[in-house]
Chains A and B, each alone.
Chain A
Amino acid sequence: NAGVTQTPKFRVLKTGQSMTLLCAQDMNHEYMYWYRQDPGMGLRLIHYSVGEGTTAKGEVPDGYNVSRLKKQNFLLGLESAAPSQTSVYFCASSGRLAGGLSSYNEQFFGPGTRLTVL
């Protein structure tokens, strides 16, 4: 049981380049989230998904797109990277486990992707 995994762990882009961050979870969770964390700051929600095929905007969605074609995967895309998008990106998932032992609000986080845009 790997939990939440993120690919890649590090990436350097030039301004204007595009890339996709992949998040995968093996806990059969309904909800998945993408956050960004700037140095010394808290986490800010970019986009989230409440189920396969559905996505919604969070607090800071501009410049990002997401897709959830499969329940276990949540992709975050940057179409034209900007230096302001330099950050650490965390993916998380949550859901009610069998037996109702876990609340929706308990999120399990991946190890993060450190992105630098030059």
Chain B
Amino acid sequence: LAKTTQPISMDSYEGQEVNITCSHNNIATNDYITWYQQFPSQGPRFIIQGYKTKVTNEVASLFIPADRKSSTLSLPRVSLSDTAVYYCLVGGPAGNKLTFGGGTRVLVKP
């Protein structure tokens, strides 16, 4: 199983950019990297997914270096509503390869 390591928490302020790095040293060739967001008392919600280089969507960017041993989720101009726990997920189609990291608790302050 590809184990992931993330910072436990980080604070930011409204309007700033937040970058969360996830380490996954033993990522397999077929593994994708996916990030989820979770608010209290809710199930996680998909944010972004990538395999290599850079991926961008309307809410975030995902940077993956060539060796794929880490990835960085970038949230531009965060707001108070972005306060949540963010999980890095590494895995492929087979269910037993899916591993959630410990999550990073992001607190956005006014």
Contact = CB atoms under 8 A, between A and B. Distances in A.
B71 interface: no
A50 B93 CA distance: 9
Contacts of B1: 59
B43 A58 contact: no
A56 B89 CA distance: 19
Nearest to B34: A105
Contacts of B101: 42
Interface stretch (B11-19, B44-52, B60-68): B44-52
Interface in A23-80: 31, 33, 35, 41-45, 48-50, 56-59
Contact of B95 (A4, A58, A103): A58
Contact of A104 (B36, B43, B93, B96): B93
B76 interface: no
B95 A50 contact: yes
Interface residues of B, number: 25
Interface residues of A, number: 28
B32 A43 contact: no
A35 B100 CA distance: 10
Given A42-B102, A48-B95, A103-B49, A109 B32 contact: no
B44 A109 contact: yes
B44 to A, nearest CB: 5
Interface string B93-110: 111101111110000000
B41 A112 contact: yes
B87 A43 contact: yes
A42 B95 contact: no
Interface of B: 1, 32, 34, 36, 41-46, 49, 87, 89, 91-96, 98-103
Given A43-B87, A103-B32, 17 more contacts: A4-B43, A31-B95, A33-B98, A41-B102, A45-B95, A45-B98, A49-B95, A59-B99, A90-B44, A104-B92, A105-B49, A106-B34, A106-B46, A107-B36, A107-B98, A110-B43, A112-B41
